[in-house]
Amino acid sequence: MFKALRQRWDNFPLAARLAVMITSLVVVVVISVTLLAIRREQQTFRTELRNQASLILDTLAVSSADDLYLLDGDALSDTVMHLNESPLVIATHFYDDQGRPIGETTAGELAVDPLGQQLLTTSGTWFDWESDSLRAGRAITAERQQLGAVSVVLSTRAHNEKVADTRQEGLIIALGTAALGGLLAIIMSQAITNPLKDLLEATRRLAAPDAVSVGPALSTDGKAIVHAHDEVGQLAQAFNEMADAIQKRERDLRAQAENLHVATLRAQEASRIKGEFLANMSHELRTPLNAIIGFGELLLMGAGGPISEQQEHYLKRLHENGQRLLTLVSDILDLTRIEANRVELAIKPFAPRSTVERLVAQVAPLSKDKNVTFTHTIEASLPQTLAGDEKRVEQVVVNLLSNAFKFTEQGTVTLKVWADPEAKTWMLSVSDTGVGIPPHALDVIFEEFRQVDGSSTRAYAGTGLGLAIARNLVRIMGGQIKVDSQLEKGSTFTVSLPLVLTAEEVAPVVPA
């Protein structure tokens, strides 16, 4: 309950809250001051009335002692009548030494008045306050002889009316000051909150420059107006400086982004031209290279006549190097095609088991001159037929197997193929017991031209393009490639590809 009220209060505008608080304070102060004044006045009046009563009673005790001694009812009645003419005195009573009233129309009656009796035994003056009167009395003595008593009733009505008037005046003054205070509070709180509202609007503008303004008018350049040089004014000034700094930074950032955009466009254009150039160059290089390799093979076969042993040795070297150059040029051509998104997959049904057997036969000679055993496993989970680009799959696996043989001096190289129908993938893994790859190089070996040992004196030949091409081809086929390796223990490369059984199922692959 209290919390809900508090929340409502907190949601009120600041100016309204300030005005309510100041007005309440003013009202409380005015009411307290009025009540205090009334109390003071009442106290003074009571004291004065008591004094007056004492004075009247003392005077009567002296002036009417003889009349009382003589029990002169007429004289006492005169005194009473005379006294009662005063607007202040409501009634006066004399009592004889037995406490019986005398000096009135009932003078001489024998009935005892309890008040009269009480007064005879009271020393000093007795007072009793009633709602609109003060009753007072005292005993009258002469030379230690008790003569009787006297009591007066004084009216407080005049005073009560005065207090009521004061209360009314106080209320009017309280209402008047509350209204004036409220007005002042509104003016004051607006003087505080208007600059704050300006500042708020300026902040909103800064955050969302295109948003439609709902706040008060701002200076035309979208800055906060500095109304005065007080704390709020200083805040507005500081805000404007900050806004300037932010706007400048934004302009700088825009300019930088623009420059960056231009640079990106230029880089893209340069990359495209480079791709085109490389593709053309690769093509131009392959044609004469094929001719060199072809004529070398013809000479080796003896088509140009018998050749000596030395000539055969030279021709073989020529042929080998021609082949390496052709592989390199083909790799570069592949990579440029991949970069230009110009690789098209030839999706057809194929028998993965035959593919694997053919691959095994193709790479088996690589283990010949080494102390390396080559094994392969095809698990039963692998379907008989799959749909995909068989040639590209072969290209990837041949690359992984060539690396495995290249980086393994002794031990085993294993090719394993299996399928996981639930995960809708089929996998090929190539494991070796070779040199392994250090952890820091595991990510970079898939980047172009990256090798663990990139020095010119490195022990293993190669261009650093094979894995980059393999990864890109696997991606294009909708799969992924990962590597696990330990230095000196060996490496395992695993390729996982979508398990697609018919050519119709092939999902289009978005180039990375």
Residues in 465-484 that interact with ligand ADP by CB under 6 A: 465-468
403 binds ligand ADP (CB under 6 A): yes
Tally Cβ neighbours within 10 Å of residue 294: 12
Determine which residue in the list 18, 386, 419, 452 makes contact with ligand ADP, applying CB under 6 A. Answer: 452
**Greatest extent of the chain over all pairs of C-alpha atoms, in Å:** 188
Encoded one letter per residue, x for contact with ligand ADP by CB under 6 A and - for no contact, window 411-450 reads ---------------------x-xx-x-------x-----
Contacts of 296 (CB under 8 A, 6+ apart): 315, 318, 319, 322
Q: Would you say 136 or 467 has its CB closer to ligand ADP?
A: 467
488 near 435, Cβ under 8 Å?
Answer: yes
CB of 403 to ligand ADP, least distance (A): 3
Q: Please give the Cα distance from 190 to 199 (Å, whole number).
A: 14
Alpha helices in 64-123 (DSSP H): 65-70, 73-84, 114-121
Q: Would you say 393 or 445 has its CB closer to ligand ADP?
A: 445
Within 13 A of 58's CA, how many CA atoms are on the CB side? 8
Candidates 46-54, 148-156, 271-279, 464-472: pick the segment binding ligand ADP (CB under 6 A): 464-472
Q: Would you say 363 or 445 has its CB closer to ligand ADP?
A: 445
Which tokens is 7 given?
A: 């929340």
CB of 207 to ligand ADP, least distance (A): 50
CB of 437 to ligand ADP, least distance (A): 5
Residues in 265-324 that interact with ligand ADP by CB under 6 A: none
Candidates 26-34, 70-78, 273-281, 461-469: pick the segment binding ligand ADP (CB under 6 A): 461-469
CB of 476 to ligand ADP, least distance (A): 17
193 binds ligand ADP (CB under 6 A): no
CA distances from 48 to 51, 138, 218 (A): 5, 18, 67
219 near 226, Cβ under 8 Å?
Answer: no
Q: Which residue minimizes CB distance to ligand ADP?
A: 462
Q: Please give the Cα distance from 450 to 448 (Å, whole number).
A: 5
Q: Please give the Cα distance from 167 to 318 (Å, whole number).
A: 125
Q: Please give the Cα distance from 196 to 200 (Å, whole number).
A: 6
CB of 410 to ligand ADP, least distance (A): 14
Alpha helices in 223-340 (DSSP H): 231-300, 309-339
Q: Would you say 244 or 409 has its CB closer to ligand ADP?
A: 409
CB of 414 to ligand ADP, least distance (A): 12
CB of 417 to ligand ADP, least distance (A): 18
Q: Would you say 134 or 437 has its CB closer to ligand ADP?
A: 437
SS3 136: strand
Candidates 115-123, 320-328, 360-368, 401-409: pick the segment binding ligand ADP (CB under 6 A): 401-409
Determine which residue in the list 464, 482, 501, 506 makes contact with ligand ADP, applying CB under 6 A. Answer: 464
End-to-end CA distance of the chain: 59
372 binds ligand ADP (CB under 6 A): no
How many residues sit close enough to ligand ADP to count as binding (CB under 6 A)? 19
Residues in 381-400 that interact with ligand ADP by CB under 6 A: 399
The two beta strands, 371-378 and 410-420, are parallel
Determine which residue in the list 49, 404, 474, 481 makes contact with ligand ADP, applying CB under 6 A. Answer: 404
Radius of gyration of the chain (CA): 59
Which tokens is 293 given?
A: 């390799």
Q: Please give the Cα distance from 84 to 90 (Å, whole number).
A: 6
Summarize as ranges the residues that interact with ligand ADP (CB under 6 A): 399, 403-404, 407, 432, 434-435, 437, 445, 451-452, 462-468, 491
